[in-house]
Structure 1
């Protein structure tokens, strides 16, 4: 039990250090040497827990994604109507982006990096599990006629696409976008694309 706790403490230390390294040094500075130096964990220990540096990146991506989904699902499940649910989902994503900028940055930037490719199947499987409560919530609203009948992936694109793009632009700092303004405007725009005609 104690050994298991120490192992989990090491995993958490390495993941926290890796996120800090990524936030401070960017993708170019996100290296195994930088992470071992920041965490104080040996290279052997890192490989023992994650298998490879790509395995570490995949574990960090999955953890950040889990934190985002946890917030979105909590917000979604507190609502009573389809419209308030969509609004809560959109706003929780944008709030996560602002409040947990480092995790949001890693999620958005890593989606286009090569180091997750090796673990694409396990990341996809983890995302599928995390997405299940959201898919069930939307499926129930479609069944009740509160949301237009569309395939789940189309609903996901309509809801998550604009929000993810707003977050990506804010995180990149290359476009001027105000997240507070996006949180006011996007929910109703997205809702209009989902409501039955």
Structure 2
């Protein structure tokens, strides 16, 4: 009679365990980067805080720089998913733009360490080495939002400007205010900033007859 050999562990759980250790490492890295900065954090400190072995860390990320890049990519993906989910039910250009402003600020308030890391590390050479990939990802993220602005341009609701310029008018001011808030340089409450910035963005791009106020 043939004997079956029992495997030393349930292999079906290995991908799940690997994903769990990777996430623990990313969470630990973000906490350490927030507390003491990227430059002052070692891979050994990430190991100690996460409980993930050095071997696993190098398996997942290859190096400390790889860990920084992976964290940036993961946080950026989470931010973009939040924005898209928040805007999925926006029915017109004004709701889309004001919703973008509110969703951006709301995500930063809910995840300040993540928002600060993305803002501060955007020009880190570790990140800019992948600039082409970043630019492609940004274009793919913005494409459906830009497409949703075109009908409003055709209808004369918003100014006849390139859609990417219109969206830049929303992104620029909200990113600037969010950086100020993250650095403790504004006393304006986030919900107030979201409302006022949304109104200002709409006033800047709407055809004048369409922006005195939203009808209830």
What TM-score, normalized to structure 1?
Answer: 0.87
The alpha-carbon distance between structure 1 residues 52 and 156, as it changes in their structure 2 partners (threshold 3 A), is farther
The alpha-carbon distance between structure 1 residues 83 and 10, as it changes in their structure 2 partners (threshold 3 A), is same
The alpha-carbon distance between structure 1 residues 126 and 25, as it changes in their structure 2 partners (threshold 3 A), is same
What does 1:117-156 correspond to in 2, within 5 Å? 117-156=128-167
Task: Name the SS for the 2:156 alignment partner.
Answer: coil
Task: Name the SS for the 2:104 alignment partner.
Answer: helix
1:61 aligns with 2:72: yes
- Deviations along 1:22-67, whole A, 9 cap, x unmatched? 2222334343232222212233322221233222222211221222
Equivalent residue for 1:83?
94
Mapped to 2, the partners of 1:118 and 1:105 lie a distance apart of 20
Consecutive unaligned residues of structure 2, counting only runs of 5 or more, are 1-11, 209-216
Mapped to 2, the partners of 1:17 and 1:51 lie a distance apart of 17
CA contact (8 A) 2:146 2:163 kept: yes
Consecutive unaligned residues of structure 1, counting only runs of 5 or more, are none
The structure with the larger Rg is 2
Mapped to 1, the partners of 2:73 and 2:150 lie a distance apart of 24
Cα displacement (A) at 1:87: 1.1
Larger fraction in helix? 1
1:195 aligns with 2:209: no
Mapped to 1, the partners of 2:99 and 2:48 lie a distance apart of 40
Mapped to 2, the partners of 1:32 and 1:129 lie a distance apart of 33
Equivalent residue for 1:95?
106
CA contact (8 A) 2:122 2:128 kept: no
Cα displacement (A) at 1:175: 4.5
Mapped to 1, the partners of 2:188 and 2:45 lie a distance apart of 32
CA contact (8 A) 2:150 2:163 kept: yes
Task: Name the SS for the 2:160 alignment partner.
Answer: coil
Mapped to 2, the partners of 1:139 and 1:177 lie a distance apart of 33
CA contact (8 A) 2:105 2:194 kept: yes
Equivalent residue for 1:31?
42
The alpha-carbon distance between structure 1 residues 31 and 120, as it changes in their structure 2 partners (threshold 3 A), is farther
Structure 1 vs Structure 2 CA RMSD = 2.1
Cα displacement (A) at 1:142: 2.9
What TM-score, normalized to structure 2?
Answer: 0.80
The alpha-carbon distance between structure 1 residues 9 and 177, as it changes in their structure 2 partners (threshold 3 A), is same
Mapped to 2, the partners of 1:45 and 1:125 lie a distance apart of 30
Cα displacement (A) at 1:189: 0.3
Task: Name the SS for the 1:147 alignment partner.
Answer: coil
